[in-house]
A and B are shown apart, each in its own frame.
Chain A
Amino acid sequence: GAGVSQSPSNKVTEKGKDVELRCDPISGHTALYWYRQSLGQGLEFLIYFQGNSAPDKSGLPSDRFSAERTGGSVSTLTIQRTQQEDSAVYLCASSLAWGESQSYEQYFGPGTRLTVT
């Protein structure tokens, strides 16, 4: 079956512009995560969605970052007024909901590589 997909795969933008990154989770996965990975670094948690519950936004680094999840499926991560330090790979992952499985394996998408010039 189809895995997690993300678009675009690469995005180059000028400092100060807004960008939107899209994530299509695996069908039936109600949990969705966004992470940021800088070159050679670990994964930094950004935001977590679970069904219709209020998202956990505790990892968003500033108010320039926001995310939505429409209809419990597709998610969009928006970065306003991009800065050079926003350059990174943005990874999306989905999993079954808590209580639906004994293992909450996260399936990652291929990521969007964002470069802010």
Chain B
Amino acid sequence: GQQVMQIPQYQHVQEGEDFTTYCNSSTTLSNIQWYKQRPGGHPVFLIQLVKSGEVKKQKRLTFQFGEAKKNSSLHITATQTTDVGTYFCAGESGTYKYIFGTGTRLKVLA
């Protein structure tokens, strides 16, 4: 079945450093979503990417969808303590169900 892997599993950065998490699917995706889950909270939607090679920005966050629509990345510039949490990608491949990645847990050291 479809699998979605994320790396790294954990990342500790100093405040102000950049952070990137990568998402790889075993199958071609129709679209991919990114979510953030704060400790003790539930996932909150960040963005959806649909087009091959698409790049979207939200302030310090940059999201990319690969040309082959099998991988994606989230890059945070100049991390802040408010960025702490687990970032998940979720891929959909035409079946209307989303397979979530394994997540990357980000810790930001002040």
Interface residues of A (CB under 8 A from B): 31, 33, 35, 41-45, 48, 50, 56, 58-59, 91, 93, 98, 103-111
Contact = CB atoms under 8 A, between A and B. Distances in A.
Contacts of B97: 33, 45, 48, 56, 58-59
Contacts of B44: 108
A57 to B, nearest CB: 10
A91 B33 contact: no
A105 B35 CA distance: 10
B100 A42 contact: yes
Q: Most A CB atoms within 10 A — which of B42, B100, B102, B103?
A: B42
A42 B101 contact: yes
A58 B2 CA distance: 12
B8 to A, nearest CB: 14
